[in-house]
Structure formats: C-alpha cells, structure tokens
Amino acid sequence: MSKLIINGKNKLYGKVDVKSAKNAILPLIASCVLLDFEVGFLNCNEIGDVSVMLDIIKSLGGKYRYEGDTLFVDCSSVYIPELPCELSKKIRASVFLLGPLLARFRKVSAVTPGGCNFGERPIGMHLDGLKMLGAEVSGSEHLYLRAEKLTGAKIELPFPSVGVTENLIMASCLAEGETVIINSAKEPEIACLCSFLNRLGAKIYGAGTSRITVHGVKKLTNKISYFKPITDRIEVGTYMLATLNTGGEVEISGANFLHNTSLIKKIYNNTCKISLESDKIYLKCCGVGNGLGFIKTAPYPSFPTDLQSPLLAYACSLNGKTVIEEGVFKNRFAIANELKKMNANIYIDGNRAVINGTNRLHGAVLNASDLRSGAGLIISALGAEGVSEISGLEVIERGYFEIDKKLKQLGADITKG
C-alpha cells in the first residue's frame, strides 16, 4: 500500500488547476451506454474511480481512449448487459449502469456495488425507481433486472439521492411517455448530465430543481463530438481548505465559485480574503480563524457531505468550537479517530462531531480509510508540526489526480512513499 509523507507547516502559495468532476464524469460515462456513437469528454483526468468505470465499459464490450486530457468513450459495440462482479464491487458508480443498460437491452444482471467505506450504502431506492418504470427485479446479492418495455411514471424519492436521480433520468430518457421525478437531487452534476443528454436529443426539463420531467424519445440521435463536464467542486473545496489550514495564498483555476457557495459563506470573513472570478477562486489566509459554529451537511445547495471530512480537519486547528452534523450518510466520521492521533480535540455524538479547535496538531502515522477522510488527513498533515505518514494513497487517488504533485508545486513538503 503506498503512502504520503508530509512534513507540515509549509504555507501553500501559487496556482492550482482543477479539471472535470469525478462525480460528473462517472454518470456521463454510464450514459454513453445509451448511444451508438463515440463522444469525447474534455478536460478529464485519469483518476482511480474513472479508470475502474472505464474497465467496466470495456468488459461490457465498449471502448475508450484518451487523447491528451480528452476521454473518448464509444459504447456502440456494447453487447453484454452483465456487470462484472469484481470491478463493480470496487466502485459505487457501477450502479449508475443499471438504468442505461436496462433502457438499451431491457435486461441487466449485476452485483451490489462497492465504493468508499463509510457504512451501509443501500441501493433499494435505485431498484424501486426502476421497478416503477417497469423493471422486474429478482435476486439480492446477484441482481437480475428485466423489463419488456420501460414506461414513464411519476416517482417520488424518499430522499433526493444523487445516484438514483441520475439512474432514473438515464433509464427514462428512452422510456415510453413521461416520467416525473419528484424530490429529485439538485446537485450541479445532475444538471451537467441533463445538459449532455439534452444535447444528444433527450427531452429533460427541470434539471437543478426538485422536480425533473423526462419525455421519453426512441433514440438519442444528435451526434456530438465533444462535451465539457463541470469541474470538481469538491476538489476545489479541498484546495481551499488546505490553503486556509496552512496560512497560504492560492489561486484555484477551473473553479466555478457558484458550486462552492456553501463553503465560501462559511469561511468568508474568517481571517481570509477571497476573490471570485468566473472560473477562478483566489484565497489568501490572514491568520488563524475562529471556530465555525454549527454546520449541517445536506443535499445541494447545502454544505456537501463530501467536504465534511476536509472541513472537520480544518476546524481542528481553528480558535474555538465547530459542530458538524452529518445529514447525508450515517457513518462518515472515520477521520475523527485518525485526527485524534494528531492531538485533535473531537467528540463524536451520533451523527454530530464536536470539535474544539487547538492550534497544536502534530504529525502522526495515519490511515486514509475513504477518499474524503484521506483528503482531510492531508489537510491536517499540511498544517501540523512535524512529519505525518498517510497510508491508503490509492483510496485518495480514486478522486484526486496527482494530489502530491499539485501540493508540491504549491510548496508543500510532500513525497510518495
């Protein structure tokens, strides 16, 4: 298992560039199963989860290639509606293929997906939604879905799940009649998927709201050569918090600040200067900030669960108290025990973390058990006194491209071990 070795207390200075969002590219790749031509996605990095998704596409009979940072995906030759077990177990996003494969082949077999390790991640809502479009589902660990045809339906989600909204949009694109998804997720990655599908000829209305309507079409026939996905708001947030935790001054290009308003509102005026341009965030830290008060993670546009661990890490070195309530996943505080090894003062009470900031974090031997807690550990290690060793780098590389190189360029003392 590879690791990162970080000698803390170097301020971050300079420029860093952020490319297409992991959580945008993954459903976009899945949606290519609906197409019988090749599409190029601009501005892409070969991050871990995307590589696994592409291996799954290959095992279904599809093709992909990179030309520079353009990823071309061609699913015209996909012929096996059967998700490969081992690969599917590696990423949660394999579940995004159920909808498009069902729409194309009227049947699909799969295993329950894997993904980052932070507790139970059920897929019942995906299956319930697909059933409402006409699928019959059998099996539990090994799933078999069949539908003579998919027919539009009115589907109310019990929770605005990102993946379920995406899966149902993809399946209903080619269903007969109208589908209405009520309480749909409003994340920018959903609007990105809808804008891609609409350019191909889908008829999706209401993306970015909690009511999405899809008028099924027979085929997506508008051939487009290229599409530019949105950039990674979570990666942007991670670099913002890393800058603040080291007391540095960084310009993040490729950042759409509108996608990070919940974070910007929290840190604005907290001993830092921020200036925002259409595709840039400039951040200058002007001293140790105060505790952040109460923050609850919730679906977009609220504070994102994916920035909860990075924020928790930052809160540990502020002056005063921060309380973070996790409102999306039941068990996403794995970072807390690791941060305690660095002298962090954190108390976990159910789905709440109470952090009493202290400016005296020291390096420690740490383990990244999931992607975002890994990002949080890096943030803490960068600001701590002394050397930290973070194992589980491959988990971090599932979603962050060359994070060690980018941080080194910003002046961090960081090496891969």
Binding site for ligand EPU (CB under 6 A): 23, 26, 92-93, 116, 121-126, 159, 161-164, 305-306, 328-329, 371-372, 399
* Active-site position among 44, 116, 173, 194: 116
Residue 270: phi and psi, rounded to 5, are: -95, 70
Residue (184 or 245) nearer to ligand EPU, CB: 184
What is the closest distance, in whole angstroms, from the C-beta atom of residue 259 to ligand EPU in the complex?
Answer: 13
What is the closest distance, in whole angstroms, from the C-beta atom of residue 47 to ligand EPU in the complex?
Answer: 10
Nearest residue by C-beta to ligand EPU? 163
What is the closest distance, in whole angstroms, from the C-beta atom of residue 91 to ligand EPU in the complex?
Answer: 8
DSSP-derived pairing of the beta strands 365-367 and 387-391: parallel
Concatenating the DSSP letter of every residue in 245-289 gives: HHT-EEEEET--GGGGHHHHHHHTTSSEEEEEETTEEEEEE-S--
What is the closest distance, in whole angstroms, from the C-beta atom of residue 192 to ligand EPU in the complex?
Answer: 11
Residue (168 or 344) nearer to ligand EPU, CB: 168
What is the Cα–Cα distance from 59 to 78, expressed in whole angstroms?
9
Residue (93 or 212) nearer to ligand EPU, CB: 93
In angstroms, the Cα distances linking 64 to 54, 74, 196 are 7, 6, 18
Residue (81 or 399) nearer to ligand EPU, CB: 399
DSSP state of 219: -
Exposure of 79 by Cβ count < 10 A (0-12 exposed, 13-18 middle, 19+ buried)? exposed
**Please, are residues 174 and 189 in contact by the beta-carbon 8 Å criterion?**
no
What is the Cα–Cα distance from 100 to 147, expressed in whole angstroms?
12
Is 116 designated active site?
yes
**Please, are residues 223 and 37 in contact by the beta-carbon 8 Å criterion?**
yes
What is the closest distance, in whole angstroms, from the C-beta atom of residue 301 to ligand EPU in the complex?
Answer: 12
Integer distance in angstroms from the first to the last C-alpha of the chain? 9
What is the closest distance, in whole angstroms, from the C-beta atom of residue 188 to ligand EPU in the complex?
Answer: 11
Residue (117 or 359) nearer to ligand EPU, CB: 117
Give, for 295, the enclosing helix (H) or strand (E).
strand 293-296
Residue 311: phi and psi, rounded to 5, are: -70, -40
Residue (305 or 322) nearer to ligand EPU, CB: 305
Q: Which residues are catalytic?
A: 116
